Structures are given as C-alpha cells and as structure tokens.
Structure 1
C-alpha cells in the first residue's frame, strides 16, 4: 500500500514538473505578458508603472499554472518570492499601490486604477465570480477600501477590501519584535508568499533586501482557497496610480508549486535607476575659472538689482507659526510660473469668491487650479491656515484634492487638483454645452453624496462644507462628480458642538436656522444638498429672479407642483424621455426632504446615500408639510 502511494505521488509530481514554476533573476528574456503601463528596461528591470496618473499596468507569467488536479480537488501548495521597490513622485504621497495576483485571466482591461489597484471595477468589486487572490502593497489611505493606513500589506479575495491587513513591517528574529518598513522608501524589499494546501494557511513575510527570511510572518490567514482558485490560474503583478504616481519596480521573481520556492540570486538582480551623478571637475574648469570670476565681478551689480526686483515681484507673507505647515505651502514663485503670471488666457472662472486659474507646476508637471482670494484681515488667519492644512489630508474619490496654499500681501492662494471637465453648473445652465443624460446626473449625485458622507461621518474630524452647489461640483476626466472649494469649510471633533461663526454661503442654499443661531451643522449642509438635488433634476438654479414670483424659489415651486400631483413637470426638459422614472422621483422627493425647515426632520448624509443606493426606503412627505420659505 505504501509503495502504491509513493508511486502515485511520484507520477503526480512528474506530470507537473514541466510547468511547476520559474525563477527570474532579472527579466531579460523572461516569458512575460505585459499590458498598460508595464514595461521592461534594457537591463532587465520590470517596471509596472511610469509617470502616468490614473492608470494601471499588469505583468503576468505568460503560461497558466495548474493549481488543482481537477476542479473538485483542493488547491496545491505553492510559494513565491520577489524583490520590489517603490519610488513615489512625492516622498509622503505616492500612487495607489501594487499587488501580487492570481487571476483566471491575463486580461484585466475592465479594471480601474486608483484604489481599485487595476484588479476590479465598481461593478465586479467583491463578487465571488472574480476568482482573484491578491496580496496588496498599498501606499495610499483609501476610505473606500477600508485601508488601515497609507503603508500596509493586505490579503484581498475577490475585492479591494482586505480580508487581513497590517502595517508594513518585518519580524526580527533577534527580539521577536516587528520592525517598521516604509514601502515607498525606494529601497528594495523582499517578499515571501506561501500557501500550505494541507494546513490551508496563507502566509506573507517581508524583509529588507539582503536580510534573512524572518521566521515569523507579517500576515497569516487560515483559509481554504478551493472555491477561489480555479484549476488553472495566471500569476503576476498589477499596479495602479492615482492623482500622483509612483514607480513600481520588480527586480526578481521566483515561483514554485508544491515545494519550497528557489531562492533568488540577489547579486544578479538588476540595479534600480540612480539619480544623476554629480558632475566631475574638468580640466577645462580650472582654465576658465579665473576668466569666469572676472566676468562675475562685472555683472554682480546688475544681477543684484535684478534679484531685488524679482524678490519684490515674488514677495509673499510668511510668519514663524507657518513653519508647522511647510509641507502644505507653495511659494508664490511656483504658482506664478505655473499660471504663466496669472494671465487671462489661463483663467477658469471669476466671481465674488475671487479668480481661478489653470496651471502646471514647473517641477512635477502636475496640473492644478489656483484660486486667488482676498484676505486683508489678519484676524483668524492662523486658524484658517491650520484648517487648510487639515483639509489637505482629505482623501476621497468624490472630493477635489486641496494640495496647499500660499499667502501674499492681501490675498490667499489655494491650490487644488485640476478637473478637466470644469464645473457641473456649466453643463446644467451654460449655453453651448451638451446636456447631461440622466445616468450621468444620477451618478454625479451619488458621488457627491458619498463625498459628503465622508466629510460628515467617516473622516477623523467633522467637516462642514458650507457652500454646496452645482458650481462647486467639478467633473474629472471620467465625468465623476468631485466636491470642491473648501475655502469656507469648518472643522470640529466628532461629538463636540459646532461654534458660532459668520454666516457665509450662497442664497438659496442657506438653511433657515443659520439666521437664528449662526451655527453651521451637518444638517445645514444637508439643506444645501437638497437644493443641489433639485438643481440637477430640474435643470434650474435654486433662486432665479427672472422667473415669476411663485417660481423664483425652486424648492417652493417643486413642493407646490408635488402637492398638485405635477412633480414630473419639474424635470429638466432637456432630459427628454431618457430617464429612469423611479430614480428621478426619488431625487425630486429627496431634494424636498432635505430642504425641510426643521433640521431634525432632514436625513443624515449616511441615510441619503442609503436612499440613493436603494438600501433603505424614502420616508413619506406630507402635502401640509411646510417648506423653508412658506
């Protein structure tokens, strides 16, 4: 009996030996399939990304590997090791991350970048039919993915929310303690990923390059992969960039079925790209140096004069306390060059709030929008700048990223991520723009609601936006709604009461209680969101003085038509018949519910997102219910 078992195991291993693994000490002549941003350098370095933003790259071993003898069998034990390095665009803010992945297909073109990591999209995320097993090395803190921080390792099964994750670290054999690792340090890191098909245990272990493999794993997940992994799967890597990019490099890779993975020959791995070497002194320099010094003396006076003129031109206001916010501050010179001297041809918009210019930062080539706001009074400037620094930490797919600020004389300059499709109100009310269809509008509404829920409930502090309206909703390249303009926002800790403040905002969006209490709350933001919903559904501004008196206030006009059973007469006529009736009715009624005069009668943003996603029924409205302006 023992001889038969031995013979069966031997034959089984021989059957798989032709295609049971590989080892690449560098990737010259490696059998890989690449797509997206992925490419090979001339010296055999695998680059998963480049300087492109909101993009992805994939690299798979070209042949599928057999992980089961038959579909009904358990998954065979496997192990892999590879060496990677991440070099971010900014030291503390890089791309979305990369993964080691097992996939039933090499074609992941349907996947999205950013926090989807080039593996999933909004439709298939979390679905069991994906049959995806991934280990993520994540360098961004995405609330949508329930990330623990911006420097972690996680095990993902069929979706972007990790089944298990931990801050990047390795366990020291000397004291049995975890030592932190910075994934974005630019230093090579070695990884071991091992699945025991008998004990059904998945382990992930990290170590700095040249260090021994630690005895203790960073992640250890008991799991039966039989329902997740198919009998044949592709193995490889996926990487993704967001509003900033990172270079993701793989230096070497080894994979093995049913056995211990062969070690990489670290001395044969390709080198990472090095910064430009410092210039060596040349013999010519020693010859021309005396002449150069003589000329320098002659032109010093002219240069000093030019410097003084430029210093005055680019002078800015900076006090000692602002050193605490250095990473959030841009120089005026940077912004001046980025916008071509704030020329009118770069002007994106103007109004009572100031002017907004499009620009490209000289060093990084990042596109930005620069808002110039008058800020003559020094009272409260320190608190205002502190709030700007805090708001710069917000990270959500439906918020425009506030990158920083600059103070110069009597003005404040706010720097935002640039949105190529401009503001939503230009599509709703502007002439010459193609009308948005209902699907686009409903997608934008749900996106803005998600962003507001994050501000009100899901971030470290409560953020009251105070100026929600269509002109402050910008559209990115994919026509996603992104809430912008945090210049009026207020922050306070969860559980604490908001303080009295000046009433600011736009008439038609101001909650009635503000005139009495001067205290902004999440409920006052909900009121403004209600007016915004009606703007989007009706294609009309919240206040229109050109209309007849009964029609000037949009919320009252919608409420009156609802009482008369004519709610559909309020829909934007440019929609034609291309809309989903249930969704349009939901948005109109929800706009009225959010605009009720009593703050306690309005729903929270979490409830609103549940209504919009169909996860909860909308509470009823009553014909005798007063409106705000009744």
Structure 2
C-alpha cells in the first residue's frame, strides 16, 4: 500500500512538472537562453542566430530541460510552440540557409556543419535514428542532396534533413485560398507548431505579421501523422539552429512561447522588438576622406591618378550584361589574387592538362578554396560554358567537391572550389609509397565516387556527364572521404534528352571506344571511365602504363588475363599486403572488367554499379558473357589514338 502511494505521488509530481514546462518571451531582453556559435542577443531584445557572415552556425536553446514523456516512457505528451522570425539575406533575392526549430537531447549540437546542414547535423550522422532530434525547418536554399522541393519551403524533419513532409512557404486565408510567402523577404512571420500526443499528429502553420492578420489561420500549412515516442526522450531541450553558406543572411527570432500539454501562450505582437528589413548603405568614405586631400597639391593628385590607373589595369576584368544574373557566383579577380597571395608558387597545389591549381583563403570569410586557372582563348561559347559552371555550382552531394563560382578575366577563366586538405587520390596511389591507402580506405573511396556519379546521372534536376572520371580528379577531405571534382569538361542535358556533344574530351585510357569514334559523351561512357578508375584504385596502376623502355601495359588486358587464368587477385596492388578482404577485391576487379566492356549496352548503369558494390544484387558470371580482351578494352582504338591515328 505504501509503495502504491509513493508511485501515485511520483506520477503526480511528474505530471505537475510537465504542466510547468512552459515559457514565453515577448522579446529577449531579460532572457537567459543558452547561446552557441555566433548567436547573440541584440540591445533591443532580438535573438540573432546568424549575421551577414558566410559559413557560420548559430544555436539558441531554452536553458532547462523539458519533460516530454509520461513515466512509462510509452508515449509523448502533447506540446505546442509559437514564435515570430525574420530572415534578412545579404542579397535581397537570395536566401542562405534557414532556421530550424529543434527538439534535441542536448543543448550542444557537436560537430554540426553550416550550409545545407543548417547547423543541425553533419555528413556522417544525418539520417541516424540515434539522433533523437525533431525539427521544423524554414529553408531558403534548395539542396538536392536532401530532396528539397524548392528554395522557399517548410519541412518536418525527424533525425534527418530529408524532410518527412514539406511544402512551399505560405498560408491559407479565411476563404481557404493559398497565399505565397517569401521566407527571406526580411519581414516578420508567425509560426505555430503543435503535436497531438493522442492523435500522433504534427501541424505546422505559417502566417505573416501584418495589419489585420495577426491571428493563426484555421487551416495548417503542413501536417504529418507520426508517433514521436521513439524519437523524443523523457528529457529534451528546445531551441533554434541556423546556418549560412556561401550566401549569408541574418536570422532573427523576435518572440517565442512554448508549452507541454496545452496551447502555447499567445505572443504580444505589439511588444516584440523591431527588425530592420534592409539597412541603408553606408555613405562612401571616398568623398569624406579624399575630397580634402584634393586640395593638397596637383602633383599629388596626378600621382594618385597614375597609381590608380596601374592598379585598375592590373586587376581589370570585363563584366558583360549577361553575367549580372549570376550575382554572388562571380568572384572578383582582385579578391582571388589576394586570396592566393598573387598566385605564387608557394600556393601551387598542382598542374594539370587544363590549368594550374592554387590554394587560397578568401579574406572576407576566411574560407579555404582551391582556385583553378583555365585558359579560354575562344569567346565562342563562353556564355554557355559559364552558365553550365554556375549550374554545376548548385550540385549538392557529400562525395562531390563543391564548386563555389567563377571569375572571367581576359582570355582566362578561374574556377573556385572547396579546398580538400589531403589532395588528390592520384598522389596516394603513385607518389607516396610510404603513405599508401589501405583496402578499407580504397573501398570506401570507390563507393563514395560511385554514389556521386549516380547523383550526377539520375538524381539531380539535369543529367550531368562528367567526362573525366579518374584518380587525379578524386580529391580527399580531412577524413579521406572521396570527393569527385574537376567539372571543367562536364556537360549537362535534360533527363530523357539526347546529348549533342561531338567534341572529344577526356583522358586516354579512360575514354570509351564509342566516345573516341563519335565524340559523343554519354552515361555509358562515364561508366567506362569509372571501370578504368576501379582497376586503377585496386591495382595501383594507370590504365596505360609502361613496362621496360619500349613496352606498354594495358591495365584492363592485364586484369583480364589474370581472371582468365583463375588468378584475378594477382592483379591487386602489392602495397595492399595481406590486410584486405579478398571477396571485396575480387568483386571490384570483376566489376571493373564489366564496366570496361567495349559495347555500351553490355555495361551496367551506375545505379547497378552501386547495387553490386553494396551486395544488393549479385554480380553476373563473367564467364557467361563471352568476354575477350578486344571485347573489353578495344585496345586497337586506344593504340591508334596514342600513335596519332
């Protein structure tokens, strides 16, 4: 009886605690929020998560944990929150990146990344059920990696930035008509998020803060039926996360109310602090500082004029009308010059057939970049080429090198990429015998590159044919994850359309026979290049190498002969030693042969390649395909090209 009484009292205390889990902030002047990253409270009571600084993160959490579960832990209480936010982008028509209302097991979000990860997850923990994170994102950038529907949407996130449900930002009026809203207009907007613990239903509602419309719309913008009991722990923290990327924005919260087991208290709109939509530009210091100097002496002014002319000539670049539409994707040559310390030899990362690559640090953002200088003597097609470069800059995949933008000056094109600290895979395969990659690293690199090519071929809004898949174009980040880069030869076309490229481009040894004959690059020719890449990584040899002084070794022929003798593992790199998984090595070698077939229709698609690598489907028996050496590599074609034929 005594134990039963204690249990009842414990339930009562827990219930009271849950009912006390509520708070309201009409402005944040006297708040004691937990702030992280660059989040701060302004003097007039605004919670500013990020400012106009790129690649930054801001977190703000209510300092005390909230009880979300009953004592049995079988169900989550109902909860409700409402807040007013405003997003003021650095460029009025371009948002970057957004705000997430978060329920998290901790106030800290360690190892979270900015840009598309919104300061919430990173590329390794995104999508893990162990995260126990619920969020509602107000996203202003379309990231295809997470299947975003557009660059102005609201999404419900459960342990994953691939939203469980999402829709374009807007609200339903009293006549049930839908009205669009721009999340990054700079104007304040009202959000209501409600979870019904009995019905297991989440509702998200959005509305503008304007004259005559300060109420909650009757119809929610977005709903999802989902039991949050497996997601939320007994004790959780509530707050906000935000981030910026190449495009920056100031993300504000003006007021916030929250309650467990009941409706959150209404905010007093009239008491909320004001946010400036777009601040006026500061007056130029040129007039206030230079004008008095004009009176000093005529000689001094002539000297200044000559120096200014020389400097302008040094950094001169032509900006044509059509380039204005690319806005922040176009870098100034002057900025790249200073970022790379004048393109000095100390910053030279490498020299390839298409230009020299330099390491740089953008002064304004401290962003580490790699700058590739490419000669572009012909003006014909430069507009189309730049258009494709900017389009490729919108690609988002964990195994692709991020292309930030370009600069065009005279007969030169400069491409700006994310900097990869461990350089190219090519260097580890051939130039660093003491630092050779082990099999586990190589296999992870292979699967990463395969995943990125599937994204290029099938998952992005357009088909991207890379045309130059090889080890020297695979870069390694700080954790030796593969990033496929160098899109200088890539071509785009619509899904279902026929590629019209008839200009031969690529590297001998990786070029498919039909590509050499017709000049037309296709998905299948990319698969052929990937096959050569597979053999290159496993064997530690280039597709066409030299044995002795006068003899060439065609790698695919060598692997084929090893397979025909029943000793395919003899082809592996000797530096692998004995620490490798023989089944995996054999699988990749056979898949390399299959992708190297001279007939395009006999090659698998890249999605099938990934399925083979993941063992989701069995690899076909190569002996049943009637393979021959000429049926794989088309050596005669390769040799004729090498000899000038």
TM-score by length of 2: 0.84
- Report the equivalent of 1:483: 484
Query: Which SS does the other structure have where 2:545 is aligned?
Result: coil
- Report the equivalent of 2:82: 81
Aligned mates of 2:479, 2:96 — CA distance in 1:
19
Aligned mates of 1:304, 1:628 — CA distance in 2:
63
- Report the equivalent of 2:554: 553
| Larger displacement relative to structure 2 (290-299 or 17-26) | 290-299
Does the 8 Å contact 2:420/2:477 carry over to 1? yes
1:221 to 2:224 alignment: yes
- Report the equivalent of 2:495: 494
Query: Which SS does the other structure have where 2:623 is aligned?
Result: coil
Does the 8 Å contact 1:550/1:557 carry over to 2? no
- Residues 317 and 583 of structure 1, relative CA distance in 2, 3 Å threshold: same
- Residues 190 and 383 of structure 1, relative CA distance in 2, 3 Å threshold: same
Q: How does 1:381-400 map to 2 (within 5 A)?
A: 381-400=382-401
Does the 8 Å contact 1:78/1:258 carry over to 2? yes
- Residues 110 and 619 of structure 1, relative CA distance in 2, 3 Å threshold: farther
- Report the equivalent of 2:438: 437
1:212 to 2:214 alignment: yes
User: What displacement does 1:198 show?
Assistant: 4.3
Query: Which SS does the other structure have where 1:552 is aligned?
Result: strand
User: What displacement does 1:529 show?
Assistant: 0.8
- Report the equivalent of 2:267: 264
User: What displacement does 1:146 show?
Assistant: 1.7
Does the 8 Å contact 2:123/2:398 carry over to 1? no
Q: How does 1:14-93 map to 2 (within 5 A)?
A: 15-16=16-17, 19-27=20-28, 30=31, 32-33=33-34, 45-48=46-49, 58-71=59-72, 74-88=75-89
**Residue 253 of structure 1, aligned match among 252, 256, 259:** 256
Aligned mates of 1:241, 1:530 — CA distance in 2:
38
Structure 2, unaligned runs of 5 or more: 1-8, 636-645
User: What displacement does 1:577 show?
Assistant: 3.1
Q: How does 1:110-121 map to 2 (within 5 A)?
A: 115-117=116-118, 119=120
| Larger displacement relative to structure 2 (546-555 or 588-597) | 546-555
Does the 8 Å contact 2:340/2:358 carry over to 1? yes
Aligned mates of 2:41, 2:581 — CA distance in 1:
48
- Report the equivalent of 2:512: 511
- Residues 71 and 49 of structure 1, relative CA distance in 2, 3 Å threshold: farther
User: What displacement does 1:527 show?
Assistant: 0.7
TM-score by length of 1: 0.86
User: What displacement does 1:267 show?
Assistant: 5.1
Query: Which SS does the other structure have where 2:236 is aligned?
Result: strand
Aligned mates of 2:612, 2:138 — CA distance in 1:
34
- Residues 239 and 407 of structure 1, relative CA distance in 2, 3 Å threshold: closer
- Report the equivalent of 1:315: 316
Does the 8 Å contact 1:137/1:153 carry over to 2? yes
- Report the equivalent of 1:3: none
1:197 to 2:197 alignment: yes
Q: How does 1:416-431 map to 2 (within 5 A)?
A: 416-431=417-432
Aligned mates of 1:246, 1:290 — CA distance in 2:
34
Q: How does 1:276-295 map to 2 (within 5 A)?
A: 278=282, 292-295=293-296
Q: How does 1:103-114 map to 2 (within 5 A)?
A: 103-106=104-107, 108-109=109-110
Aligned mates of 1:123, 1:362 — CA distance in 2:
29
| Larger displacement relative to structure 2 (299-308 or 234-243) | 234-243
Query: Which SS does the other structure have where 2:546 is aligned?
Result: coil
Does the 8 Å contact 2:502/2:518 carry over to 1? no
- Residues 113 and 609 of structure 1, relative CA distance in 2, 3 Å threshold: farther
| Larger displacement relative to structure 2 (267-276 or 58-67) | 267-276
Does the 8 Å contact 2:52/2:89 carry over to 1? no
| Larger displacement relative to structure 2 (86-95 or 560-569) | 86-95
- Report the equivalent of 1:602: 603
Aligned mates of 2:589, 2:243 — CA distance in 1:
38
User: What displacement does 1:615 show?
Assistant: 2.4
Deviation sequence 1:566-593 (CA, Å, 0-9, x none): 2222222333333333332222221111
User: What displacement does 1:426 show?
Assistant: 1.4
User: What displacement does 1:137 show?
Assistant: 2.0
Deviation sequence 1:507-552 (CA, Å, 0-9, x none): 1111111222221111111111111112222222222224587772
- Report the equivalent of 2:540: 539
Query: Which SS does the other structure have where 2:84 is aligned?
Result: strand
User: What displacement does 1:468 show?
Assistant: 0.9
User: What displacement does 1:381 show?
Assistant: 2.8
- Residues 266 and 491 of structure 1, relative CA distance in 2, 3 Å threshold: same
- Residues 186 and 212 of structure 1, relative CA distance in 2, 3 Å threshold: same
| Larger displacement relative to structure 2 (438-447 or 40-49) | 40-49
Aligned mates of 2:131, 2:39 — CA distance in 1:
22
- Residues 268 and 479 of structure 1, relative CA distance in 2, 3 Å threshold: farther
Does the 8 Å contact 1:500/1:517 carry over to 2? no
Does the 8 Å contact 2:100/2:137 carry over to 1? yes
User: What displacement does 1:430 show?
Assistant: 1.8
Deviation sequence 1:456-514 (CA, Å, 0-9, x none): 11222211111111111112233321111111112222222222422121111111112
- Report the equivalent of 2:103: 102
- Residues 180 and 365 of structure 1, relative CA distance in 2, 3 Å threshold: farther
Aligned mates of 2:130, 2:353 — CA distance in 1:
52
- Residues 127 and 560 of structure 1, relative CA distance in 2, 3 Å threshold: same
- Residues 268 and 426 of structure 1, relative CA distance in 2, 3 Å threshold: farther
Aligned mates of 1:49, 1:581 — CA distance in 2:
50
- Residues 185 and 570 of structure 1, relative CA distance in 2, 3 Å threshold: farther
